[in-house]
Amino acid sequence: MNGISQTLDPAIARSLLRELGESARAFRFEVAPNPCVGAAVLAGSKVVSRGFHRVWGGPHAEVDALRLAAESSVPQSEWDTMLVTLEPCSTTGKTPACVDAIKRSGIRRVIVGALDPDPRHRGRGLEILEEAGIEVLVDPVPSPLQDVAPHFLHWNDNERVRRPRPWTIAKWAQTLTGQLSPPEDIGGGRWISGPTSVAEVHKLRGRVDAIVTGVGTVLHDDPRLTVRPMGAPGLAVDPSNLSKGSPPPQGPARIVLDSWLRTSPTARLFEESQDGELAGPVVIVALPGADPIRRRALEAAGATVHTSRGMDRFTLDLRDLWSWLWSQGYQRVLLETGPTLLRNALDAGFVDQLRIYTGNVRGGEGESLAPWLTEAKLLERLHRESGQDAVLEAFLR
């Protein structure tokens, strides 16, 4: 495993690995906390297909490349080499192990740009392939992982390993002046962001295990927090395309942080789903001393009430709560709530990724998070447009 195959020019192989890595970065905010990975299937020196890990919970790059190769005009018997920017995975999680798909494909040689940086898995995928009789080569000039997966390296280097918790995405919409609530006289509805952004948010909801909100948001907005099919071309959420476990078949869990059980049993959270929307289970998180009568009423409405430790008699302990979320199998969480809970989670260091929509609306109500953002340590950021809205996506240190 110390050289590039003599049947493929090393310069060409390295150039292709670099190209795959750079192209994979286009999906970095969709796959986090997974790394950006690209793969290619070759027949001799001809590239048959290029595949990528495109969405969290979806097929990995190797499987995507094999699928596209199968749709090509090149017979499978002619596939001989796979290039992949990162060592193929050897364990089954939300998707099967990639090494198994490679073994079934008939590929005879795998060229890897870099080993898995996670010490728990590093080298194991290559060992499995070699045991199956597949030639494995690692580029002696490895791909610079910090260029293609900075969030992945940061995630594996910090507290996820020491104190497991979900990867957390904070999403909010704000006005041009930074307020999270529109002015009272906005008219035409209560949304700050436009229909394209609303459709994007439903797509994002469909790619997390849980949505976390606060009781203040429930009392003020009475949200559904479901995944709804949207009509915008290319943005519709098709439940049949949602990967196993991402989210659960009924939709992501809807988790309300409600210390004293102020949520109403008649809230829209408890309405039956309709018109193809995915409505996940409702979980209310409360302090141990919460009213047992209110608890029974919420359970009768369909909620599960979980008791969590408090920092004091009014406030839930977010560290304890985020550890509990991980223990329940929630690996990727969307924080969709008001400024108080958002600021608390940001200050506690529990937010890993931001998605902020700025609508073409002036004024607004309530606190602005703009001062926090000016001080934030952003690992990487991307500015883009969504219809008439401006979007900031970022990874936090």
Domain parsing of the chain, residue ranges: 10-149, 158-396
Is 254 labelled a binding residue?
Answer: no
According to the model, what pLDDT value does residue 344 have?
94
According to the model, what pLDDT value does residue 141 have?
66
Distance CA 307, CA 386 (A): 39
Q: How many CB atoms lie within 10 A of CB 358?
A: 20
In order of 110, 288, 294, 327, the CA distances from 308 in angstroms are: 48, 7, 16, 13
Task: Indicate the fold that domain 10-149 takes in CATH.
Answer: Cytidine Deaminase; domain 2 (3.40.140)
Residues with catalytic roles: 62
Residues 122/94, Cβ–Cβ less than 8 Å: no
Is 199 labelled a binding residue?
Answer: no
Task: Indicate the fold that domain 158-396 takes in CATH.
Answer: Dihydrofolate Reductase, subunit A (3.40.430)
Sign of the CA dihedral with 6 first, then 11, 13, and 17 last: positive
Say what the alpha-carbon torsion angle 145, 149, 152, 153 is, to the nearest 10 degrees. 30
Tens digit of pLDDT per residue, the chain (397 long)?
344 445 678 888 989 999 999 999 999 999 998 889 999 999 998 999 999 999 998 999 999 999 999 999 999 999 999 999 999 999 887 788 999 999 999 999 999 998 887 777 889 999 999 999 999 998 866 665 555 565 665 555 554 555 688 999 999 999 998 888 887 755 545 679 999 999 999 999 999 999 999 999 999 999 999 998 764 333 334 444 444 344 446 789 999 999 999 999 999 999 988 878 899 999 999 999 999 999 999 999 999 999 999 988 789 999 999 999 999 999 999 999 999 999 999 999 899 999 999 999 888 877 888 877 766 678 788 999 999 999 999 998 7
Residue located via tokens 């952003």: 378
Amino acid identity at 368: S
E strands, the chain, in order: 38-43, 46-52, 81-84, 109-112, 135-138, 167-174, 179-181, 210-214, 253-257, 282-286, 304-307, 332-335, 353-358, 365-368, 378-386, 389-396
Is 173 labelled a binding residue?
Answer: yes
According to the model, what pLDDT value does residue 81 have?
96
Is 36 labelled a binding residue?
Answer: no
According to the model, what pLDDT value does residue 311 have?
86
Residues 169/335, Cβ–Cβ less than 8 Å: yes
Is 243 labelled a binding residue?
Answer: no
